[in-house]
A and B are shown apart, each in its own frame.
Chain A
Amino acid sequence: MAQEKLLSGCAAAAQAAKLAEVEVVCSYPIRPYTAIMMELVRMIHNGELDAEFVHGEGEHSQLSVVLGASACGARAYTGSAGVGVTYAGELYSPMAGGRYPIQMAIADRTLDPPGDFGSEHTDAMTFRDQGWLMGWASTPQEVFDNTLINYRVGEDQRVMLPQMVCQDGYFISHIPDKVIVAEPEQVKEFLPPYKAPHPLSLTCPVSHGPQIRPDQGAPMDAQRAAVFLEVPKVIQEAVEDYNRIFGRNYDPFVETYMMDDAEIAFFVQGAHATTCKSAIRNLRNQGVKAGLVRPRWVRPWPTTQLAEALSRVKAVGCVETSTSYGGAMRGGNLIHEVRASLYDLPNRPLVTSFMGGLGGEVILLDDFYYMAKVLTQMVKAKKTDKHVYWIGFEEE
């Protein structure tokens, strides 16, 4: 029987990587993701996991190591946080373009300056357009589940793409919660062994990563974009299989909470969704019809599913947990995608955004009540006066 354990997000990620029988692991320390590697190295030392463990010289070489491992046909695992994610920057596009389905665990952390340890999604969000699969978990259990689901989707022959499995630093990575750890037989049924289509080998030599000509660039980009059109189908299949084998109840693309009769909706990515749900229950007791929509993927962005989930509300508040300085809405990234997803709806809701959860700050229940007040006023006024509200920095 599957065991229920008390695990932090980092421990949950390591447990799932162990059950996925990762073959090559490459580390470089940076808080708060480091605990994943500490767990994995302990497992290797104790003989629980048979994997090659390489300690990189930095994040750039860390990703280079797993690129090489994946090119040889090994299931490879790495991870980082904050400025570690950005230091590895050069590798993201070639890894996706070269179709190496490695997995990178991210426990996010604010970028410098000046060395803030807190959670903020800007580190990974900065690389959302490099051709990786990407999504945020909202509990340690979901970190565990997403680790396995991402390997299954990424290694599918129709996809073959690297994956960023993200969790909020500290809020998830360091706070233990109940996690059902699956049985190895369940994982074997769900996740077939990784098979590289053209592994580097002495018996069947191939060359990876050659220089291409300018006239090959556009078709290559188009082919990479075409792969992403296939991904939702594969995600749907994988999550349905996962729910069946592991007894879960995930929506493949978006989680909805109390959305059936909701008039205002919070759009929250990651850990803060948990606080948001409590806020919604309290708001409902006061007669405010609020609901939550939470994306399980940033790439591929669940455009149609979001449009469907948000089609009946009157106002949407995107809770931004990343920054997009000087962007179209002058706040975060999510609102750009949300407004674009809703644009073609016949009765599209009003959309605004709230800058919160930045630099590791907790989004309090009171903050959600404030957001609900703003959204309710928007519905009454039937218009959006502002596209962004900075929580705690607005004149009342």
Chain B
Amino acid sequence: MSTIKVPKDREVPFGAVTPAPVTSQELFITSNWRIVRPVLDREKCALCFQCVMSCPDSCWSFNEEKEEVEWNWRYCKGCQICINECAAEALSAVPELDFPDGVVRLEKPF
């Protein structure tokens, strides 16, 4: 019978179980199919939190120290619901390819 050896650094946790509750973790990132990302114009932002409430993946949150809303790039799929909901028109959809870090955010491209 053959044997199978997965190197330690590529091992996936048992049953892909991860610690919780956390808002983000290094192991599991689900944003790599995003085509556009929401970009915030802080001058226009009215802090109405429509983006926080409308995001289906909880990617917008309020940073109390900085007193501004923050975007989590790790889980945003680029669905643009927040952009549609923003009453102050402070959000715009910008193609991922316009950013120097590019669209694929995995260490190994696939």
Contacts and interface: CB of A to CB of B under 8 A. Distances in A.
B6 A219 contact: yes
B15 A198 contact: yes
A206 interface: yes
Interface residues of A, number: 27
A304 B2 CA distance: 12
B110 A208 contact: no
Contacts of B1: 229, 304
A207 B18 contact: yes
B3 interface: yes
A220 B12 contact: yes
A207 B4 contact: no
B50 to A, nearest CB: 26
B106 to A, nearest CB: 6
A97 B16 contact: yes
Given A97-B16, A208-B15, A214 B110 contact: yes
Contacts of B16: 97-98, 208-210, 212, 220
Interface string A83-127: 000000000000001111000000000000000000000000000
Interface in B1-49: 1-4, 6, 10-12, 14-22, 27-30, 32
Contacts of B15: 97-100, 160, 198, 208
B17 A215 contact: no
Nearest to B18: A207
Given A205-B20, A205-B21, A212 B28 contact: yes
B66 interface: no
A100 B19 CA distance: 18
Contacts of A97: 15-16
Nearest to B15: A99
Contacts of A206: 17-20
A97 B6 CA distance: 16
A210 B6 contact: no
* A207, A209, A211 — most chain B CB neighbours (10 Å): A207
B28 A226 contact: no
B32 A213 contact: yes
B21 A222 contact: no
14 contacts: A197-B14, A198-B15, A205-B19, A206-B19, A208-B15, A212-B12, A212-B16, A214-B32, A215-B106, A215-B110, A216-B27, A222-B4, A222-B6, A223-B4
